[in-house]
Structure 1
C-alpha cells in the first residue's frame, strides 16, 4: 500500500511541477517560427510592472492551464517593463500591444503569425482579459475564441 501511495505522490508531484514550468517565449521571432511549424496560435501575454498578478497566479500557474496550453497554443510573454530587453525589442513589443488593441495590462491576445517574402503578418483572433472564476472558465472562453463554430 505504501509503495502505491509513493508512486501516486511521485506522479502527482511531477504533474504539478510541470504546471509551474511552462515554457514562455520572450522572443517574438522564435514564437513565430514555432507558430508556423506547429500550426498553433500564439497566446501573447502582455504584462508590465505594477500589473495585477491574478491571471498569472490563478490561471497560468495551474495544472489545467499547463495541459491546455501545451496542446493548443504557443506561449509568449511580453513584459513591457523588462529592463533587460533592448530598446528595439521594447519598441517592437509596444507596437504589437498597440496594433492588437491591448489597452490594459495584463491581457492576452491570441493571434496567428505567418511570414511570406520576408514579411511577418499577424491575424488577430481575439483578446482575453483576466476573468474571475479560475482556470476552467478562462480556458473554456479561450477555447471558444480559438475555435468559433
Structure 2
C-alpha cells in the first residue's frame, strides 16, 4: 500500500514539475535560431522588475498557455531591468522595445526574425498588451495575430 502511494506521489510530482517548465530564451540570437529551425514565430515578452506580474500570473503560469506555447511559438523574455545583462545587450533590448512600439510594460510582441551577414531583421506580426480577460482570451487574441484570415 505504501509503495503504491509513493508511486502515485512520484507521478503527480513529476507531472506538476513538467507542467510548469516553460523554456524562456533570454538571448535574441538563440531565440531567432530556434525560431527558424522549428519554423515558429517568436513571442517576445518585454518586462522589467517594476512591471506588474498579472500577465505572468494569469496567463504564463497556466497549463493551458504552456500547452499552446509549446505548439505555436518560441518564448523570448527580455527583462529590461536585468542587472546580469551587459550594457550592450540591455541597449539592444531597449532599441528593440522602441522599434516595436512597446510603450507600457509588460507587453508581448509576435515576430519572425532572421540574421544575415551579422545583421538582425524582424517582421512584426503584432503586439498584445496585458488585459485582464485571462488565458483563454490571451490565446484567442494571439491566434488572431498568428493566423490572420
State the TM-score, normalizing by the size of structure 2.
0.90
1:81 equivalent in alignment to 2:93: no
1:146 counterpart residue number: 146
Q: CA deviation at 1:12?
A: 5.4
Contact 1:51 1:106 in 2 (8 A): yes
Q: CA deviation at 1:49?
A: 1.6
5 Å matches for 1:1-149? 13-149=13-149
Q: Say which is worse superposed, 127-136 or 100-109, in terms of deviation.
A: 127-136
Q: CA deviation at 1:10?
A: 5.8
Residues matched between the structures, number: 149
Change (3 A) 1:7 1:72: farther
Q: Secondary structure of the equivalent of 2:120?
A: strand
Q: What whole-Å deviation, never above 9, does each CA across 1:79-127 have from its counterpart, x for those lacking one? A: 0000000000000000000000000000000000012343221000010
Q: CA deviation at 1:132?
A: 1.2
Q: CA deviation at 1:136?
A: 1.1
Q: CA deviation at 1:17?
A: 2.3
Q: Secondary structure of the equivalent of 2:121?
A: strand
Q: CA deviation at 1:40?
A: 0.4
What is the root-mean-square deviation in Å for CA atoms of aligned residues?
Answer: 2.1
Gap regions ≥5 residues in structure 2: none
Q: Secondary structure of the equivalent of 2:76?
A: strand
State the TM-score, normalizing by the size of structure 1.
0.90
Q: Say which is worse superposed, 92-101 or 115-124, in terms of deviation.
A: 115-124
Q: CA deviation at 1:51?
A: 0.3
Change (3 A) 1:69 1:11: farther
4+ long deviations beyond 2 Å:
3-19, 115-119
